[in-house]
Amino acid sequence: FFSLSFPETHGISFRIQISVKELLDKDILLKLLFHLPVSYPSTLPDISVNSDQLTRAQCMDVKEKLLEQAKKHLSEPMVHDLILWVQQHLKGVIKQSATVCNEKTTLSKGTEDGIWMLLLQLDHMRAKAKYVKTVEKWASNLRLTGRLMFMGKIILILLQGDRSSIKEYLILQKTTKVDVDSSGKKCKEKMIRVLCETEVQSQHKRFQTFEVKEYSTLEELQKEFETAGLTTLFSEFVPPLLK
């Protein structure tokens, strides 16, 4: 889908609609509006991003990332490159701005309070002992309960607590130097995926404490989720990680 307009001397505006395969193979329809000023491409285009399947915050994130890309292409025609870029990288941008896995509960309540739950996946921990200590300290300071779970190569963090504390935890996790890189230098966590962020429902049991646990089989891990009334959360997000 493509439409073009030429307002007198204000450059060109055009809309493009693209669809991108997202998580769980849902297509995400993205509406992009580019306004190219007369001095384009030596000045950046104006870009706006809309999509019914994304939150406003996610659309803003996509727009910011597109503008970052645009700066790299300054003074050369860039629209085509930007569209290709967003098709390839949309998943990554959206993952970074937490996906809410149960929209209905959020919309109907729309409240900031209530108990929330967050499920994160980490790619690896090089400085494991230090990293684990840091996560335990944050959980305790923010009064969050849950589990840090290791099973084979899979590392999951499941947290429950006030929504504001959960948000704060995510900021700490992304902005603090929690690990070391391959050369042993302290580094921030770059490889984190927010698998789910949602309000805790009555059928979910609350974790009373925050514990670090290792599991030797998928069944053991599944039991941990089942005991907390989180069977659906497990079956929706954990098995795909093994593929």
Q: Where is the domain boundary, 67, 98, 129? A: 98
**Together in a domain, 121 and 78:** no
Cβ atoms of residues 101 and 148 within 8 Å:
no
Give the domain CATH number at 142. 3.30.70.100
Residue type (1 letter), 124: H
In a domain, 77, yes or no: yes
Over residues 29-78, the pLDDT tens digits come to: 889 998 888 888 888 889 999 988 888 888 988 999 999 999 999 988 89
How many distinct structural domains can be found in the chain? 2
Cβ atoms of residues 114 and 105 within 8 Å:
no
Give the closest residue to 32 by CA, choosing from 63, 73, 74: 63
Cβ atoms of residues 180 and 108 within 8 Å:
no
Query: Would the pTM count as exceeding 0.85?
Result: no
Give the dihedral sign, CA 34/38/41/42. negative
Look up tokens 């849950």; give the residue.
146
Cβ atoms of residues 22 and 30 within 8 Å:
no
| pLDDT band at 105; cut points 50, 70, 90 | very low
Mean pLDDT confidence for 202-227? 89
Domain of residue 20: give its range: 12-98
Over residues 180-201, the pLDDT tens digits come to: 888 888 888 887 889 888 888 7
**Together in a domain, 120 and 232:** yes
Integer-rounded Cα Rg, in Å, for the chain is 21
Instruction: Kindly report which listed range (34-43, 109-118, 221-230) carries the lowest average pLDDT score.
Output: 109-118
Whole-number mean pLDDT of the chain?
83
Cβ atoms of residues 46 and 89 within 8 Å:
no
Dist. CA 143–CA 56, nearest whole Å: 29
Per-residue model confidence (pLDDT) at position 1 = 54
